[in-house]
Amino acid sequence: MRLRMLATAAAVLTVAATAACGGSADESGAVTLKLGFYAAAGDPADTTMRELVKEFTAANPSIKVQLEVAPYVKFFEKLRTEIAGGQAPQVWLSDGVLVQEFAARGALADLTDRVKTVNAADYSGIELNRDAKGRIYGFPQGAQTPVLFYNKKLFAEAKVDAPTADWTYDDLAAAAKKLTKDTNNDGKPDTYGFRAYSPGFTESWWPIIKAFGGDIVTDGNRKVVVDSPQSKAALDWMLGAMGKDGFAPDYATTEGLGKGVVHTLFATGRVAMSYGIYARTLPAASAGVDFGVAPMPKGPAGRGNVAIVNSWVVSKSASPAQADAAWKWITFFSGEGPQRKWAELGEAIPINKKVAATALPADRRQAFLDSLDAATDLGVNAVWSEYTEALSKRISEALSGASPVDTALATGQKEAQEVIDRFYAGQTQ
């Protein structure tokens, strides 16, 4: 889940399924549809998407598809430029946290009425795309939600029972202490029981704050409310895990590893437990880890489940014929056949519920599906990237010990709210 974008310029690789270009239907009735998605050239996602496009065009010969493809960062850099110049794809795959940004800037077609033509009960994540006014600008492509990963081998060696749905944060801490080992007697753990902090806050402080009864934003995700006693209790728990209790690597150690390494701490056996989205099953499985997943533990206010749904969106500048073709692609991709093929990649939870109920590995299925069903969105709004960056900076100061928790929460709330207010000033709810 790649939630931050860099400011480096790069070219996008454009691969055309046909040499046709331009607008709506031509004299033969054919429609040219530019379709954008992010993937590294030749990787499984790229290969699978191209295969699905071939299936789609074979079934819909009147639609000519042009592909615009690039790695994540480069794709969205190029896309923003294209949107500004009126040259965006007619349909593209958006990171779920960016849908509201594109919609608020007038780049997306309203899909609310189109969504009414499908049986919403057959799909996961549709409601997570609804904005403060009830409108829907994106249709889910794949879902991510964190659960508790645990290393079965390390649990067996420490004679610790596997996590259950009844676990609380006290249970998590007690097990994590037993799982923390200093095998070479140098005074530093070689294996930690739990990873508490992560730069990817979806798998760290965001759900923990919610589990402890706090919240981050309310009122249509426009009011920041993170400065609360409940949020303080959550961060204090994390500080204890990384400090006096010693069962989690501290902030400096974790941050010093680099974001990519942090996300493989579980896969490399450095931590026995970690919160992880569905995509984290790939490195764990590739490393040969015998792992299980369980629901996140219960805090005073529940589990704090959150989710992100990457989604297909349609350009507001698409012609009526292109918009119809884009919707045809979206409904095709959401069907059982394409969803099963996409599920084979193992990188996301299928949004087609029938597929998800059978395609996910049986020993992991229920924890992820239950978490997704219970999840709220990740506070998405038009300035999600900016306000979460401001807030994360201050919370990181608290978790690193550079600032008192009270000060960090108050300052973070103030600065994040200023970002939101600057954008929404003068707009109605």
pLDDT single digits (tens) 194-219: 999 999 999 999 999 999 999 999 99
Task: Report whether 57 contacts 328 (CB < 8 A).
Answer: no
Angle between helices 336-343 and 320-333 (to 10 degrees): 60
Q: How many CB atoms lie within 10 A of CB 264?
A: 16
Residue 204 domain-assigned (yes or no): yes
Q: How many CB atoms lie within 10 A of CB 188?
A: 11
End-to-end CA distance of the chain: 29
Name the residue with higher pLDDT: 258 or 221.
221
Residue 3 domain-assigned (yes or no): no
Find the CATH number of the domain harbouring 90.
3.40.190.10
Residues 130, 166 within the same domain? no
Residues 339, 399 within the same domain? no
Dihedral sign of CA atoms 32, 36, 39, 44 in order: negative
Residue 429 domain-assigned (yes or no): no
Name the residue with higher pLDDT: 175 or 4.
175
Whether residue 1 has pLDDT greater than 60: no
Residues 76, 119 within the same domain? yes
Residue 56 domain-assigned (yes or no): yes
% residues pLDDT > 90 (the chain): 86
Residue 4: pLDDT band with limits 50, 70, 90: very low
Residues 22, 131 within the same domain? yes
Residue 66 domain-assigned (yes or no): yes
Percent composition of the chain: helix, strand, coil (DSSP 3-state, to 5): 45, 15, 40
Residue 8 domain-assigned (yes or no): no
Whose CA is closest to 318, among 42, 102, 24?
24
Residues 53, 171 within the same domain? no
Residue 109 domain-assigned (yes or no): yes
Total number of domains constituting the chain: 2
Residue 398 domain-assigned (yes or no): yes
Q: Looking at the whole model, is its pTM more than 0.85?
A: yes
Residues 105, 48 within the same domain? yes
Provide the mean pLDDT of the chain: 91
At residue 425, the pLDDT reads 86
Number of residues assigned to the chain: 429
At residue 186, the pLDDT reads 85
Query: Residue 279 is part of which domain span?
Result: 147-304+383-424
The two three-digit tokens of residue 178, written as one number: 């037993």
Residues 218, 335 within the same domain? no
At residue 264, the pLDDT reads 85
At residue 263, the pLDDT reads 77
Residues 274, 408 within the same domain? yes
Dihedral sign of CA atoms 100, 105, 108, 110 in order: positive
pLDDT per position as a tens digit, 284-336 = 999 999 999 999 999 999 999 999 999 999 999 999 999 999 999 999 999 99
Residues 165, 278 within the same domain? yes
Residues 136, 173 within the same domain? no
Rounded to whole angstroms, the Cα distance separating 102 from 40 reads: 23
Residues 265, 406 within the same domain? yes
**In this structure, which amino acid lies at residue 355?**
V
Whose CA is closest to 142, among 342, 276, 282, 363?
342
Mean pLDDT over residues 115-126, rounded?
96
Residue 18: pLDDT band with limits 50, 70, 90: very low
Highest-pLDDT range among 130-134, 182-186, 202-206? 202-206
Task: Report whether 296 contacts 371 (CB < 8 A).
Answer: yes
Q: How far is CA 85 from the centre of its chain?
A: 28
Helices and strands in the chain, H and E counts: 17, 12
Residues 187, 214 within the same domain? yes
pLDDT per position as a tens digit, 350-368 = 999 999 999 999 999 999 9
The H or E element spanning position 44 is: helix 44-59
pLDDT per position as a tens digit, 401-419 = 999 999 999 999 999 999 9
